Amino acid sequence: MDVTHYSVIPSYGRDYKTLDEARQAWLDGKDFTIQSIDRNNGRQMSIRDAQEGGLSVQVRYNKKRDIYVWPESAADEDEDEYIAPYGRRDDEGLEIE
């Protein structure tokens, strides 16, 4: 079974506090570390690798509590729009503000 989706965290001890910072780092091609249960766990990747492999990616930021999803499906319709993060949720799945 081929993996088509990865969750990644910023590499080299970096963290991004906001969605805009995380999004810009991903789009700028910064390195991120794959968090997975397959053989790629711990490997580095960037947007270039995701584009070449046709992968979708969850970029974790804000101490791994928030998620930015790429590719941005809204970008197909309007380049100025993008998907908002899922945000933090409690045990019942309700969003925490």
Q: Is the distance from CB of 35 to CB of 9 less than 8 angstroms?
A: yes
Nearest CA to 8 out of 53, 56, 79, 80 is that of 56
Residue 70, SS3 per DSSP: strand
The answer to whether 21 touches 33, Cβ cutoff 8 Å, is: no
The pTM for the full model equals: 0.70
Q: What is the pLDDT of residues 15-72, one digit of tens each?
A: 999 999 999 999 999 999 999 888 999 999 999 999 999 999 999 999 999 999 999 7
For the chain, the domains span 5-76
Round to whole Å and give the CA distance between 46 and 33.
9
